[in-house]
Amino acid sequence: MTIVERFLKYVAFDTQSSEETGTTPSTEKQRVFAQYLKEELIREGLQDVVLDELGYLYATLPANTDQPVPTIGFIAHIDTSPDASGKDVKPRIIKNYDGQDILLSEGIVTAVEKFPELLNHKGEDLIVTDGTTLLGADDKAGIAEIVQAMVYLQQHPEIQHGKIRVGFNPDEEIGLGAHHFDVEQFGCDFAYTMDGSEVGEIEFENFNAASAKITINGCSVHPGYAKDKMVNAARIATELVGMLPPNETPEMTEGYQGFFHLTHISGTVEQAQLSFIIRDHDREYFESRKSEIADIVEAINEKYGNIATLELKDQYYNMREMVEPKMYIIDIAQQAIKEAGMTPTIKAIRGGTDGAQLSFRGLPCPNLFAGGLNFHGPHEFCPIQSLEKAMMTIVNICRITAQKTV
């Protein structure tokens, strides 16, 4: 099976996670895909294949050398984002992309003007959607690359490598992917998540992240007689949003700039709910942002009389402080990318990965490119050449690690 065939098989599975269920995995359809992957890993010759009751899948490719070599891991997540449907994905391959706008389906166009990154892949073969769902390269591209690399290494026994561990987990997209990851049982000296985007990217800085859920309880009265009686929760919810800095949203920020992101708002006169995610690379600014949203809720309560409650939860932190003491793992990744014919690019993640949480649990785990772009929406695409380069990067990391004394 080629890496493209493998990837297309994977995206046929609907694995969207959910913030609402409170279960692990958050959706049963993730478990269905995990069971398929378990059977596939066994067929492909991996050992110690274990799928636990929470939907975490682990496997081993044994070392083919007697020399002492660090045990390394490769990790990807099973779920796709709740932001867009992942059901009935209909991928299409555009051969030798010509650099023009892409018509996904009637009235739905991926325009070069809006998505200029397309031009970086002119002449390549692009896997796109039909415009009604996301594609699922985040992170089924990563899974396909890891599995294909394990197959490649078995087909090429002349490539020496140490023990390699593979881990696939649920619920990364809702910030819970690493919560039940068994770091001790995984047993690696270091690992890489394959969850980045553009070819050649290495990421070992990420946002500090928190979620904020606000509930506003109002009082409904006939609008004709509402003077000094009605408390309109839905209207107050919009007032609260207006109290946040208007230029500190995802669509207004870039680079190291943090933001407040309103991900959900609903309500009636009686009650309204708002959900935010809070992000910043700088820990001090991050703490300041959490204080700012708490102060706004307090101001609403002072104005209207204790009608709002705030649930604020930290999700993950910037992994840089945990990776920096072992920068040789970044050096290995850079060499591997160069030997796969690319220029390595180190950049900060405007987001997070499971590797951030795993790094703070004792498993240094930077993030590498998986090749997909425009994640979480119908304009997502993945060049086939990027899949292949990411797969060879994994192979190179395994070989280089076996050659080095770490």
- DSSP lists the bridge partners of residue 199 as none
When pLDDT is cut at 50, 70 and 90, the band that residue 354 belongs to is confident
Average pLDDT on 87-106 reads 96
The answer to whether residue 79 is catalytic is yes
The CA distance from 317 to 8, in Å, is 33
The pLDDT tens digits of the residues spanning 177-221 come to 999 999 999 999 999 999 999 999 999 999 999 999 999 999 999
pLDDT grade for 406, boundaries at 50, 70 and 90: very low
In 62-198, the DSSP E strands lie at 72-77, 92-94, 102-105, 108-110, 126-128, 164-169, 190-196
> Does the structure show a pLDDT above 80 at 162?
yes
Residue 132 pLDDT: 96
Q: What CA–CA distance (Å, rounded) separates 280 from 250? A: 11
- pLDDT given at position 124: 98
Q: Which listed residue (79, 173, 201, 205) is catalytic?
A: 79
The label of the residue with tokens 């119908």 reads 378
User: Angle at Cα 372 formed by Cα 369 and Cα 375, nearest 5°?
Assistant: 115
**pTM of the predicted structure, to 2 decimals:** 0.83
Q: Is residue 356 predicted with pLDDT exceeding 90?
A: no
| pLDDT greater than 60 at residue 82 | yes
- pLDDT value at residue 321: 85
Q: Which of 40, 139, 172, 195 is catalytic?
A: 172
Residue 172 annotated in active site: yes
Could you give the domains of the chain?
Answer: 3-206+318-403 (3.40.630.10), 208-316 (3.30.70.360)
Q: What is the mean pLDDT of residues 50-61?
A: 98
What is the predicted pLDDT for the residue at 316?
84
Kindly tell me if the per-residue pLDDT of 104 is higher than 60.
Answer: yes
Q: What is the pLDDT of residue 405?
A: 52
What DSSP string runs through 3-21?
Answer: HHHHHHHHHTS--B--SSS
Please name which of 137, 166, 187 lies closest in space to residue 51, comparing C-alpha atoms. Answer: 166
